[in-house]
Every structure is written in structure tokens, then in C-alpha cells.
Amino acid sequence: MKSEKTNCLIVDDEPLAANLLKKHLEQFSQLHLVAACGNALEAFNLLQKESIDLLFLDIQMPGIDGIKFARSLLHPPSIIFTTAYRDYAVESYELDIVDYLLKPITIDRFLKSINKYLLRTDNQRLSFARAEKEESSGEQSIYVNTNRKYVKVLFEEILYVESLKDYVRINLPGQCITTKDKITDFEQKLPHHFFRVHRSYIVNIRKITAYTMHDIEINGKEIPIGISYKKEVITFLKRTSANE
């Protein structure tokens, strides 16, 4: 669990819904509500001045809706969408959000969302801590079960790893190997020069050939940077390139 406070921002044009979120937030000592905004423009101006870790964002709002607003942010915080409609679930998850809460939001459902956020940020910090350590001697390869046999895969040959629900696809130069494993579990088996940039992708930082604010390029493949990973990923890549 994170020891520091998580700065939160509520963006909702419905006062009753915003007040309910405020009450839920007050139940958690590690959550700090910085402000509550009634529209996207007000929220945008506040994000320029305040450091926000977690955004509770309503989808249906006058002017700019929550999904368009999230897409407009270059360095968005982690996002939990709040809405009275189920219709936006698929579209919102394409933005790699933490969670999607249906109104009225109960304290039990709110707690699950906060646990998701804390687990994700803890895993990110662990991944980046491993990436910044000096290289140590250790295992240089891993055996993975594919097509009923165990195949040796050298860590240095792995370009990136992609999640396929209950499987992961290990992308190597000229070939791919698929094995039954959750990407979060597989991540723990990799050495420090691998880190998560999206809920569906882990990359080998030594294989990155280019990057933008939205994606990383490895061997001609553009790998998206997830919204909730973006801030730390870009900071890490800029620091790495500056040290080279």
C-alpha cells in the first residue's frame, strides 16, 4: 500500500453524485480530495496547477464529455470513470482506466476501485524500482511451456510481452511464443530491464528504438502507453535518455 497521500480530483456536474463521492473519499485516510469541479474546462485549469494522482471523472457532462476530456490530456492521472450508463464501458476501457463505476456508487464498490488503483500503482513502483537498479548477475533465461514442451527463452532476445487474457505472447526477433500465464504473474519472472507500460504490454527497455508521449517503438512495432502508466513511463524514458 502507498504510504503517501493520493491527491484526488472529482469532476461531476451533478452535486448529489459529487457529494456522495466526497463522503466515500473521507473514509480513506490515504486519499486527499484536492477539489471537485463541475465541468471539464474547470478540471483542465486545475490540472495545470495541482498535482493530481487519481481522477474521478463523470462521463456525461455539458460541453466536453468525460471520455473526450480524458483523451485530450497529454499526461493524465489515473482515471476512474463514474456514470449512470453502462453504454460507455467498452469505449472507456480502451483508455486503460483503473475502473468504471455505475451510479449510485456504494461504499463497497468504491472500496474495490480504490484497491485496484493502489494495487496498480504499487506494481508500477515495483517495476520501475527494478528497472533503475544496477544490473546484477542472475538468471539469463526462462523456460516456458508451449505446445506441451518447455522452451528456453533468453531474456535479452525478448522484445516485448503481450497479454492475451489467460496467456501471454512473448515477442522475439522473427518469432512469437505463446504460453499460459497471466501478464502480472509473468512480469514477476522477468529481470529489472523489463517494465510495464500498459495493462497489456511489458517492454524490454534495451530494445526501445523510439518513443512519443503516446507509444513506444520496438522493432517497428508501436506499443501504446497506458494512460495510468504514462506519467511515470515518460519521466523514466526522459531520464534514461538524458543519462546516455
Q: What is the pLDDT of residue 15?
A: 95
Q: What is the pLDDT of residue 150?
A: 87
**136 belongs to a structural domain:** no
- 163-204: pLDDT as tens digits: 998 899 999 999 999 999 999 999 988 888 888 999 999 999
Q: What is the pLDDT of residue 240?
A: 65
**90 belongs to a structural domain:** yes
Helix (H) or strand (E) holding 155: none
Q: What is the pLDDT of residue 135?
A: 45
- Residue 237: which of 78, 158, 131, 159 has the closest Cα? 131
**211 belongs to a structural domain:** yes
- Top-confidence residue, 229 or 236: 229
**64 belongs to a structural domain:** yes
Q: What is the pLDDT of residue 137?
A: 42
Q: Do 114 and 211 belong to one domain? A: no
Ranking 71-80, 93-102, 164-173, 209-218 by mean pLDDT, the lowest is: 93-102
Q: Do 16 and 42 belong to one domain? A: yes
Domain at 28, CATH number: 3.40.50.2300
Q: What is the pLDDT of residue 158?
A: 97
Segment of 87-96, 121-130, 219-228 carrying the highest mean pLDDT? 219-228
Three cell numbers, residue 57: 471523472
Q: Cα separations (Å) of 205 from 54, 193, 198, 209, 232?
A: 27, 6, 14, 9, 14
Domain at 188, CATH number: 2.40.50.1020
Query: Residue 165: which domain range?
Result: 141-243
Q: What is the pLDDT averaged over residues 87-98?
A: 69
Q: Do 78 and 174 belong to one domain? A: no
Mark which of 131, 155, 170 sits at the end of a domain: 131
- 106-152: pLDDT as tens digits: 999 999 999 888 887 776 665 555 544 434 445 688 889 988 888 89
DSSP classification of residue 213: S
- Give the HSE-up count for residue 126: Cα atoms under 13 Å, Cβ half-sphere: 14
